[in-house]
Amino acid sequence: MQLFVNDLTVIDFSYLCKDRGVVGESWIVDVILSGDLNAESMVLDFGIVKKQIKAIIDDAVDHKLLLPKDDNKLFVEQSDRDNHLYVDFYPQGMSSIHLQSPHCAFAQIPGDKVNEEGVTRYLVEVIKAQLPENVTGIELTLRPEAIDGFYYHYTHGLKKHDGNCQRIAHGHRSKINLFENDIRSLSLEKQWCNRWQDIYLATDSDAITQQQVELSKRGKQDLSDQHQCFSYYAPQGRFDIAIKDKLEVVDCDSTVELLADYIARQLKAENPENRYKVVAFEGVGKGAIGYV
């Protein structure tokens, strides 16, 4: 017997890619469970699937930076801070990326790249260990939202957040709708999605010097003059990142509400005589609307 739950959850995360750098992503999760019927004549109560299995998935990968464990350009070591890790990554044709974050901000995925197949295998093993005996099989499908239009991948962190959004390198795959004088503008949407493709969005008030940033010895040695550094303390610990490529520094916190306002203000500054409406998504099915 099998039961299924489509759209069980959406995982929002970022991952390190040797070709693209740090990439924000959002995947919808579908699940099929196989097994014998229990005393309640169920494979598993839907309430348990929606709460327990969703919680396992969220705890394993949601709002984390996923690391390709077997990539020879990835270096992970214990930080000088308790329960923190240093991460150094060297993508092809790009400048290096260096981080320090609490352990909980990372998930190490077996393999030399992070993709749907590898993350699926990782999650199946994590979930299997916590299923009742009558459940004999689990199938997961991880899929991006079908978007008819333009979208971008972005990575950020929210230092004021009490939950997992505080992690300095988590992200989303998001669409955007832009309206100029009440008319939707596909050209502006394309422009912004090109601008923010695989972008890291940093807040200007989080900027620190290379002397202040906490990185591994390797990371410190490999910083170029062009690397910019950002850091903050949040409830889970201290977060640091040094990055050069695909970076935009914004004059606000990177909540979706303030990003919608930021885009609107940028558009207004370019054409003060026009009115703008920005419908900015944060992953799948949620977001904020800005007007100017």
What pTM, to 2 d.p., does this model score?
A: 0.95
The pLDDT of residue 211 is 97
Say if residue 240 is exposed, middle or buried (CB neighbours under 10 Å; 0-12, 13-18, 19+). Answer: buried
Q: Is the model's pLDDT at 42 over the cut of 80?
A: no
Residue 226 in 3-state DSSP? Answer: coil
What's the CA gap between 251 and 232, in Å, rounded? Answer: 16
User: CA neighbours within 13 Å on the CB side: how many for 231?
Assistant: 18
**Mean of per-residue pLDDT scores for the chain:** 94
pLDDT computed for residue 134 by the predictor? 72
Task: Give the residue from 250, 267, 265 showing the smallest Cα distance to 199.
Answer: 250
Is pLDDT above 60 for 243? yes
Q: What is the pLDDT of residues 118-171, one digit of tens each?
A: 999 999 999 888 777 677 778 899 999 999 999 999 999 999 999 999 999 999
Q: In the structure, what pLDDT confidence band is assigned to residue 40 with cuts at 50, 70 and 90?
A: low
Mean pLDDT of 244-266: 98
Q: And the tokens for 219?
A: 């990371």
Q: What number is the average pLDDT over the span 246-265?
A: 98
Q: Is the pLDDT of residue 39 over 60?
A: no
* Pairwise CA distance, residues 43 & 31, whole Å: 13
Output the pLDDT for position 48: 66
Residue 59: pLDDT band (50, 70, 90) is very high
In sequence order, the 6+-apart residues with CB closer than 8 A to the CB of 205 are none
Domains of the chain as residue ranges with CATH: 2-173+205-246 (3.30.479.10)
Residue 47 scores a pLDDT above 80 = no
pLDDT attached to residue 245 = 97
- Contact present, 275 and 17 (Cβ < 8 Å): no
Tell me, what's the pLDDT at 96? 98
Q: How confident is the model at residue 41 (pLDDT cuts 50, 70, 90)?
A: low
Separation between Cα atoms, residue 230 and residue 272, nearest integer Å: 32
Cα 145 to its chain centre, rounded Å, is 15
The tens digit of pLDDT for each residue in 74-111 reads 999 999 999 999 999 999 999 999 999 999 999 999 99
